[in-house]
Structure 1
Amino acid sequence: MNRARRMWKALEPFHAITYFAPETRRATAALGLKGGWMSYFGCRAAPLGAVGPEFVAAVFYNFHPAMVARSLPDAWSYATPEQLLAVRLTAVDNAVRRLFPDATFDRAAEVARRAAELAPVAGRPIAAANASLEWPTEPALVLWQATTILRESRGDGHIAALVAAGLSPCQALVTISAAGGPDKEVFQANRRWSDEEWAEASEDLRTRGLLDAAGALTDTGRALREQVEETTDALADQGWRALGDESAVELHDLVHPLSAVLMADGLIPADNPMAMRWD
């Protein structure tokens, strides 16, 4: 596994605390937000400001636009982006204290912040928006904010790779599922593309020679999917190269055990739409 992918796997679960820990949902419900998805879209989009659903669907990429529109702009009528930014930090703080009561985060926070400050943000709107936020003071929250910037920088680069490969949002999900990622049902439950839309995306992929009649990737499709992942890794590695391998290895070794706990305890479901597999 290359450096960029190894670092993503180590850091992603810690970032994802904010979306899977019950503390976030309780905090956003107290503000009046309705349901888990309004909480998700509100909290994740908050660094961008009170933007509309069209913009969020575009930059988040693989969610059905109608799914986004069920949460935004309504979320902003219950809480401002500034309120949600404060709430998500408080929720992460509470969750981390519950999950890791005896852990210390000082060194991990120091290295992660340096990595985040080196992560590329040009042409990466979600990463840039998170990088513009004021840094918290608590080490655990510094670590969380750093992992958020790093994963959004990688994610923005991944979207650029998908666009360059000519894969629509739904086709991106179809191909990653066919490549051994989460199955159709997981993606449909969490991204809301209908059976008809999934079938239409699959048929277009078949006409392009990327899927066979059974829905499996052809050699051409597999090569395209691998190209997307390799491009994603290469774009993400810009920051890790600037940080240096010694510091990257140190950060990996500091955070990987924390993420292992989150995956083993089931906070992050095994069948998750992030395509995060743990072994």
Structure 2
Amino acid sequence: MSESRARRMWRVLEPYHAISYFAPDTRQATDALGLRGGWMSYFGCRAAPLGAVGPDVVAALFYNFHPSMVARAIPDAWNYASPEQLLTARLGAVDSAVRRLLPDPSTAVRRTAELARRAAELAPVAGRALGAANAALEWPDEPHLVLWQATTILRESRGDGHVAALVGAELSPCQACITISAAGGPSKQVFQVNRRWSDEEWAEAEDDLRSRGLLDADGVLTEAGRALRQQVEDTTDRLAEQGWSAFGDESAAELDRLIRPISGMIMASGVVPPDNPMAMRWEPEELPPTASADLGR
């Protein structure tokens, strides 16, 4: 089956957005503000566009994290730094990380940023809280930061659609993790470390999937389970496609061509791990031949 345009564009844009999660600059910036630990940094920075919301709102919108994990970081994060301070911190962290990773970033990404911003301004936001919250932020001036904000809007808009698809498929937050793991995504161990579902909660969610005929006794997706998981992915792509359709084939092809070497350099640097709980993949053969050399300029 050929990859849809919406999925291809998510996959090639995701590494640039993911800098803010994996580059050490973000944690350094939030540590300086007094936040405590990497997860408080993550939840605070990602939720900051929403304002000082409570843990129930963040858990609902982020979806696949255990609510108690969110509650250990939110609302405490707002006692150390306001959402406005965290928005400034995350953008500053991306700025320092990109300047370290890419040669002359503002010049290298200028056209890419122009295209990505136009795509982001066409991304659907109705009914998509994280996408809308990021789209409401002021645009930065530097092209490499415009590119990051654009990839973030596109990613969060798509993610909101993905949550809608999971809800429509009646997959609970824990079951979302189980089914993507069983479909070849990150392992149970990765999800339990990064989403904090206990063995008992994982087993209970598996039992429910078995009762629905979606999972077999060995924890493998049944034919119905594979079909439901594919339905979720197809729905996610379809809901994201309206923005890409408005953007147009020619512009999407140009953005795809321009972002690939940039994302390739980011993945070649090792900043973003190729196997991660975001379920984003970048295969070695997809790295541009000159990526490693370009990184060392």
TM range, smaller chain: over 0.9
Alignment partners' CA distance in 1, 2:209 and 2:247: 39
- Among the aligned pairs, what percent are the same residue? 75
1:72 aligns with 2:74: yes
| Residue in 2 that maps onto 1:115 | 119
Conservation of the 8 A alpha-carbon contact between 1:38 and 1:75? yes
CA distance in 1, matches of 2:31, 2:233: 36
Find the aligned partners of 1:74 and 1:7 in 2 and give their Cα distance: 35
Paired with 1:159 and 1:226, the residues of 2 have a C-alpha distance of 14
Is the 8 Å Cα contact of residues 120 and 151 (structure 2) preserved in structure 1?
A: yes
The one-letter amino acid of 1:141's match is L
Q: Which runs of 5+ in 1 are unaligned?
A: none
Which contiguous aligned blocks of 4+ residues in structure 1 show a shift greater than 3 angstroms? Answer: none
**Following TM superposition, by how much is the alpha carbon of 1:117 offset from its aligned partner in structure 2, in angstroms?**
0.3
Partners of 1:208 and 1:263 in 2: how far apart?
Answer: 39
Query: Which AA in structure 2 matches 1:73?
Result: P
**1:67 is matched by which residue type in structure 2?**
M
Answering whether residue 86 of structure 2 is matched by residue 105 of structure 1, we say: no
Rounded Cα–Cα distance in structure 1 between residues aligned with 2:36 and 2:206? 33
**Contact 1:206/1:213 (8 A) holds in 2:** yes
Q: In the alignment, which of 184, 188, 192 is matched to residue 180 of structure 1?
A: 184
Normalised by the size of structure 1, how large is the TM-score? 0.99
Question: Of 191, 207, 210, which aligns to 2:195?
Answer: 191
What is the CA–CA distance in structure 2 between the aligned matches of 1:110 and 1:277, rounded to whole Å?
Answer: 25
What do the CA deviations read for 1:65-105 (whole angstroms, capped 9, x no partner)?
Answer: 00000000000000000000011111100000000023411
Unaligned 5+ segments in structure 2 are 284-297
- Of the three residues 129, 132, 144, the one matched with 1:125 is 129
Whether 1:257 aligns to 2:283 is: no
Higher mean Cα deviation, 262-271 or 172-181? 262-271
Q: What CA distance in whole angstroms lies between the structure 2 residues aligned with 1:51 and 1:86?
A: 18
Q: C-alpha separation between the residues in 2 aligned to 1:210 and 1:264?
A: 37
Which of 233, 240, 243 matches 1:236? 240
**Which letter does structure 1 place at the counterpart of 2:222?**
T
Q: Which residue of 2 aligns with 1:93?
A: 95
1:266 maps to which of 244, 267, 270: 270
